[in-house]
Structure 1
Amino acid sequence: MFDPWIITIGSGLALLGAASTLWSIARVFRWRKWKRQAVAWQAFADHNGWSFRATPGAMYGVGVLQMESPNPELPVSLFTEHRGSGNDWHVVTIMRVALGDALPPGMSVKPARLTDKVLRLVGIKDKGEEVGDAALDNMLELKNVPAEMGAVLSRPAIRKLLLTQVRTYTDFSIEAGFLTVELTDVPKTPMELDAFMYPALGLAQALRAMEDRTLPQPSAQPRLQPG
């Protein structure tokens, strides 16, 4: 007759072995998916003359992908980043575009959070929070926006592009001289990369086109570069 403890231990080891096997299979599957993504990013970079780097993770772990545009007039960096842990672990894709001197120092534009909307309902507003456009004021958290820039943001073309950022991306921000957008996913083809970048690049180009017409130009200074 078998000892019940031996049966229990044996069953536990069998379950542990099965779980370890499934974990290994899932890890290899994710690594192969990452490799396919790396191939797509490489193809996009080669086609557009961008620099590209793929850094593999350890032991078939998902790595990170990075691309940068060589265009000094519109510096763009694109990269993936790991977030969370355990069941909450995920990968986000981030694009950062340097805006040069298009915006005044200290100005910040982000999607409105629930707390922002509650503060508006009770009549608590930060200085420079509103620009007088109902859609922008409701959908965005605006801080330190001078009157002349509020007028720029309310122009139909830029207004539409700003609201598109809210609908397209998981998160975005305009601050410290950069437009930064995030997506909780990784584009898997050159076409998906193009679709991911298009709305943000449109807004960045529109803002930089306004640079000469909205702000006094400082003396020659080096442009900010993505970190």
Structure 2
Amino acid sequence: MGFLNKLLSSEGPRKPKVKFDLQKCKVLLKGGENRIRLQKSKLANSVKLQQREVAVLLEGGKDELARIRAEQMVRDELLIESYEIVEVLCETLLTRHNLLALNFHATKENPYPPLPPEIAEAVCSIAFASCRLDASELQTLTEMLASRFGPELIDSACAGQPSQRVWGVNSLVNPRLYSKLLYSVPDGNVVLQKLQDIADMFQLEWKAPAEFEELKDHSVLDSTASTPVFSGNAQRARLSD
């Protein structure tokens, strides 16, 4: 069971397993940024190979199989875009890392310091992404952030609750990142357009068959969807024990 599933199935308050350390946070951010950049490059190369494979399928009249491959391409392209967003967020938090260590007076009602608004989106978005991307550095960082700002706030971000208020602070997951990582089935119109673009790219005389037209009526990539999409081995992700 992955980290996100453990969060959703947990009962009662939990205690973070990793203590907050500002210098370790910086190291984890740099390592996570490098890993995300490498994964983005690999996935971009994979998409190029998929384009040629889809073109071969279209040329051979295997339209249904090409459509399925095109769906995977759309998901991978959304993932590439999410990598780019996470990369920027990591750089943002690195630049403003001193805000992570600001000292506040804890109270009995709230033993954790409030999350500074200047880094709220970066912190919550990285936590959200760490549960859905295969990046162990970001998963460890998320647990460290939970020990700093409280597990309730960080867990709400991980679970995809961008508007939940914890200790008077909004869990502000970046809306673009939220939309790109949350949905699993691409919009039918987007898939059809992807097939047509590939056909044009490889100068194929291809026209969508009549049965594909029904895909236009099944646009499931909308703001009401709730199925999370996981990348690679992310479902097996573990935080450090």
Pair in the same fold by TM > 0.5: no
Larger radius of gyration: 1
TM-score using structure 2 length: 0.27
Per the normalisation by structure 1, the TM-score is 0.28
Between Structure 1 and Structure 2, which shows a larger proportion of helix residues? Answer: 2
Structure with the bigger RCO (C-alpha within 8 Å, sep 6+) is: 2
